[in-house]
Structure 1
Amino acid sequence: MKIYNHPSLSRGVLALAGLVFCSLNAGAQGWPEFRGPGGSGQVEPGARLPLQWNETSHVKWKTAIPQVGWSTPVAMEGRIWLSSATEEGRDFFAFCVDAATGEILFEKKLFHCDEPEPLGNSVNCYAAPSAALEPGRVYMHFGSYGTACLDTASAKVLWKRDDLPCRHYRGPGSSAILYKDLLILTFDGVDRQYVTALEKHTGKTVWRTDRTTKWNDLDENGQPKREGDFRKSFTTPIVVNADGRELLVSPASSVVYAYDPSTGKEIWKVAHEGHTAQVSPIFADGMVLAATGARTSEILGIRPTGDVAWRFGGKDVPTTPSPIAAEGLLYMVSNRGTMTCLETGTGETVWRERAGGNYIASPILCGDRIYFFGNTGKTTVIRTGRTFELLAENELDAGFMASPAVLGNSLILRTKTHLYCIEGP
């Protein structure tokens, strides 16, 4: 195992990196965004991920990542990209890591903020949004603190935007996604809430759509009764093809929205009683599956027309980890460690199991295995099916706040301190 602790860069390393890419048996798609291809959390068919590991077993390399970041690594063409920021939120960085060796190829400061808004909690950080990646370009995103497009061969900045306002209140969280020639960004703050699409080659705004939420937290003067928590949101949208029509599904506080991804036109919305939405939606078996957030926590089964088919509520509904669907079943883990399996078509409970621990990161599905990543560094692996079956429990030294990535047969795991490449049976 190779261990890199805050490695320094050299012209020789950069030159070599520019000439040689290691594929790690990766598929063509790699892991281009938060939750992978399509934002579903599903690994490409045929991948053989390891079942068991620890700090001394099946770790191909381990690299310390400076500063603080909860963003999911994105990976393609033998390179891994991830973001980081100083703890107080004044400086924002992009990192590029060689997927074969774990060496840091590029460390690039992208933005600076003299007076970042305090986070007010220990759950989030200033580099939580994940990047979006395609051949030749990576799109680093830090919410209202800035968005930049970099050339993946040289890390040269091709364009920047730092004029998209939003008061995140507790730090940014929504990740960037790509759709055709658009980079779609979400800004749900306490002062304003909107979704916008930038032309990915130039960074110019193509469309911007304000949320049409009817807020019920105003006093007689039209001001929020309680500042902050009821209006902000941290979700990452997905684009789904439902009955031949593409929808940008974008949950927010109090409402789940669907837009035309090409124009930003609102198609439908579903109101609910939750707030501070963080769970990203998925689309399975012809159903949009979305979580409402805090206070009134529910999973909604929404038809592509915007009609709610079923609701599942209660303390077992996650408010941060996103769910996984496979063969008519929905799998989820609550923030406090309860795993639940539902039928996607009806919302009926199939099984419920207490796994223990706390969870922020979202799970992934590989074949008939689901991997859940806990805050303390434990990964629980179960088998899909109508009966709970535990396959393995694995431990690393530091906990997971970032969701995982997959490159070929390798697990790319980001803990609070390090980036790991895990391989093996």
Structure 2
Amino acid sequence: MRTTCRNAFVHLCCVAAFVAITSEASSAENWPGFRGPARQGISPEKGVPVEWSATSNVAWKTSVPGLGWSSPIVFGDRVFVTTAMEKGVSFRLICFDRLTGEVLWNKQVFRQKPGNKQKLNSFATSTPVTDGRMVFTVAFDGGIAAVSTDGTVVWTNRDYEYYSQHGLAISPILYEDLLIVAFDGSSSGQDPKVGWQIPWDKAVIVAIDKNTGEVRWEGKRGLSRIAHVTPQIFGENGIDRLVSSAGDVVQGFDLKTGRRIWTASSPGEGVVPSLVIGEGLVFATSGFGESAIRAVRTGGEGDVTATHIAWETTEDVPKIPSMLYVKPWLFLITESSIAKCLKAATGEVLWRQRLGGRYSASPVWADGHVYFLSEKGETVVIEAGPEFKVLARNKLEEMCCASPAVSQGNIFIRSEHNLYCIGRGR
């Protein structure tokens, strides 16, 4: 069921807000969705903070009501996160002033249905995405919405009722006028193993018109299992393609129609880390069970398992944090704090070190540095390179599972109860 707000005044307000925000952001580096502008965890900015604490080099700190592990996104002078209140029933989008941390608005988007989830998951884990005009969210039960930057719900889509034994953790992405969401859940029927431990054919990738909320196409996976992987875009022979993985598969899709073009087998379930791209390869992990990292060549038709897997390894496989590609290296962190640097083209290990602590957040790169944020709120900053060198250890002493955002010279870190803007105010 789709609901559209057709009020002309609302539309004019959206346009006015878009003009204002895009004017502010025209020369700034935004962080508009999960893992940044290219979904790779990479920031092109210089002068990003390297050292801080809970009381030093912090521009501001603001309390975040409710609970959610969505990552902050930044566009112009606004920062957005989702949260869940009332024991998960009230799914909300919050907007902060980037310069001061002031809460500009806190809007209920859905009354949702809390269900099963992993202990570390939340009822608001999906990171929103924005084009500067609207912010797009996915609720725990699969509700999709577009909210204007002034907090007005423009449209909602309830066509897809999502359920998973693990809860929902995927994030939507934008491509041209499409909002793309991968629903890789499991059965809510009598046998909970279906779709989780037993492959099924109900997973779907949905492309929605970002302006209206209408479904434009559906991509079918075939047999697969639970996953929480945010899709990615890659170029293939001058044509943009969608690449998406789930339990047991890594797949390429036509962005115009949703047709599945190729599939590579990647046995496992409960896949969380999102895909990263580089060297003509898609770097994927296979989640729980038969855990492995695989580098898959793009292209081909049909089942490309035998021809397109460039390399794979079963050692030190991250099951929650996404990997980080910084040419020519691939960095990773496991939940148990093993950090590694590999040659992306071959998988050769250049170094392996234990950082200490537990990790759920995905690493980010900025100004030659890699930032690893632990669940206890310690950010280990290393030099990005073939030799291991720690530059700083920065402690906030708060639980942190959301991935950091980097924008306009600052690092935005969401803890269990607060949102931090690290660095001098800009």
Instruction: Give the TM-score band, short-chain normalised.
Output: 0.7 to 0.9
The residue that corresponds to 2:126 in the other structure is 129
Q: Does structure 1 residue 107 correspond to structure 2 residue 106?
A: yes
Residue type matched to 1:244 in 2? G
Match of 2:222 in 1: 212
Deviation for aligned residue 1:405: 0.8
Distance 1:130 1:69 in 2: 10
- Tell which deviates more after alignment, 252-261 or 162-171: 162-171
Q: Describe the shift of the 1:328–1:200 C-alpha distance in structure 2 as closer, same or farther (beyond 3 A).
A: same
Residue in 2 that maps onto 1:92: 91
- Residue 118 of structure 1 is aligned with which of 112, 116, 119? 116
Is contact 2:22–2:132 with CA below 8 Å preserved after alignment?
no
Give the structure-1-normalised TM-score: 0.87
Gaps of 5+ in 1: 1-16, 216-230
CA–CA distance in 2 between the matches of 1:22 and 1:211? Answer: 37
Deviation sequence 1:337-392 (CA, Å, 0-9, x none): 00011111111111111111111010100121000010000000000111111111
Residue 361 of structure 2 corresponds to which residue in structure 1? 361
Cα distance in 1 for residues equivalent to 2:27 and 2:169: 28
Q: What residue in structure 2 maps to residue 7 of structure 1? A: none
| 1:225 match | none
- 1:150 maps to amino acid: V
> Cα gap change, 1:295/1:27 in structure 2, threshold over 3 Å: closer, same or farther?
farther
Distance 1:27 1:106 in 2: 25
Matches of 1:164 and 1:258, distance apart in 2: 22
Determine the C-alpha separation between the residues in 1 that align with 2:162 and 2:20. 40
Paired residue type of 2:185? G
Q: How does 1:301-312 map to 2 (within 5 A)?
A: 301-305=295-299, 306=304, 307-312=308-313
- Trace 1:185-204 onto structure 2 (pairs within 5 A): 185-191=181-187, 192-204=202-214
- Give the secondary structure class of the aligned counterpart of 1:37: coil
* 1:88 Cα deviation from its structure 2 partner: 2.8
Contact 2:331-2:340 within 8 A present in 1 as well: yes
1:313 Cα offset (Å) = 1.1
Matched, 1:415 2:415: yes
Partner of 1:38: helix, strand, or coil?
coil
Equivalent AA in structure 1 for residue 114 of structure 2: P
The within-5 A match list for 1:57-96 is 57-86=56-85, 88-96=87-95
Instruction: Write out aligned runs for 1:19-418 (5 A).
Output: 27-44=27-44, 46-86=45-85, 88-113=87-112, 115-119=113-117, 121-152=118-149, 154-191=150-187, 192-213=202-223, 231-305=225-299, 306=304, 307-314=308-315, 316-418=316-418
SS at match of 1:311: strand
Q: Kindly tell me the number of residue pairs found equivalent between the two proteins.
A: 388
SS at 2:146 equivalent: strand
Q: Which moved more, 1:404-413 or 1:83-92?
A: 83-92
1:3 alignment counterpart: none
CA contact (8 A) 1:91 1:112 kept: yes
Cα contact 1:23–1:78 (8 A) shared by 2: no
- Alpha-carbon distance in structure 1 between the residues aligned to 2:231 and 2:19: 35
Paired residues of 1:87 and 1:126 also in contact (CA < 8 A): no
- Residues 157-201 of structure 1 show CA distances to partners (whole Å, capped at 9, x for unaligned) of 110112212212221110010001100011011133110000000
Matched residue of 2:42: which SS?
Answer: coil
Counterpart residue type for residue 252 of structure 2: A
SS in 2 for 1:346: coil
Return the letter of the residue paired with 2:107.
Answer: K
Identity of aligned residues (%): 34
Q: In 2, distance between residues paired with 1:38 and 1:123? A: 26
Q: How far apart, in 1, do the equivalents of 2:86 and 2:377 lie?
A: 21
CA contact (8 A) 1:25 1:407 kept: no
Structure 1 distance, partners of 2:219, 2:298, is 20
Query: What is the identity, as a one-letter code, of the residue corresponding to 1:287?
Result: L
Once residues 397 and 198 of structure 1 are traced to their aligned partners in structure 2, the CA distance between those partners, rounded to angstroms, is: 40
Q: Is the 8 A contact 2:116 2:164 kept in 1?
A: no
The structure-2 alpha-carbon separation of the partners of 1:76 and 1:244, relative to structure 1 and needing over 3 Å to count, comes to same
Per-residue deviation, 1:287:
1.1
- Specify the code of the residue in structure 2 equivalent to 1:117: G
SS at match of 1:206: strand
Label 1:131 to 1:38 Cα distance change in 2 as closer, same or farther (>3 A): same
- Superposed CA deviations along residues 28-83 of structure 1, whole A, max 9, x for unmatched, are 45001100011010002x43210100111011110110001100111112001110
Q: Secondary structure at the match of 2:361?
A: coil
- Cα distance per residue 1:76-129 (max 9 Å; x no partner): 12001110012632110010000000000010011113x52132x321011000
TM-score by length of 2: 0.87
Which digits, 9 at most, give the CA deviation of each residue in 1:371-425, with x for residues without a partner?
Answer: 0010000000000111111111000031211111111101111111100100149
CA–CA separation in structure 1 for the residues paired with 2:152 and 2:24: 25
